[in-house]
Amino acid sequence: MTEGQRAAKQYRMSEWSKVIKTRAESGQPVKQWCEENGVSPRVYYYRLRQVREYAASLIRSEQQSISPSGFTEVKLLEAHTSPAAKDAQLHIELGGLRITADSGYPAAELAALLRGLQ
């Protein structure tokens, strides 16, 4: 697929994602929404499937780029009991992976974990 084709597909998926979101936010059944907006239900469901498949392919490629082997060593440390540590947390989201650490978690361990995910 050429760069132009890739850009065109990304644009179409973006536009249809907006249409699908608009229909979902309307709260109307698909058939009714399609009739009112001049869209064939068959085309709507076809595009919905295409958008879902495209999103799934993006997630798969992103996950593969995060950790090609699929495994990263994680060391579990003893829980910290200070009141401040319980309230302050760091949240990191990276391609469908969520990491949460309290403020007392050693920075070196966290840095090693993130390096392992590159």
- Reading the chain (118 residues) residue by residue, the pLDDT tens digits are 788 988 898 899 999 999 999 999 999 999 999 999 999 999 999 999 998 888 888 877 766 655 555 555 666 655 555 555 455 666 677 666 777 777 666 777 777 777 666 5
**Total residue count of the chain as it appears in this document:** 118
Task: Specify whether the CB–CB gap between 31 and 41 falls below 8 A.
Answer: yes
Query: What pLDDT, on the 0 to 100 scale, is given for residue 30?
Result: 94
Cβ-Cβ contacts under 8 Å for 51 (sequence gap 6 or more)? 13, 16, 17, 20
Q: What is the CA radius of gyration of the chain?
A: 21
pTM of the model as a whole: 0.52
Looking at residue 69, its amino acid is S
Record the tokens describing residue 75, joined without a space. 């060391």
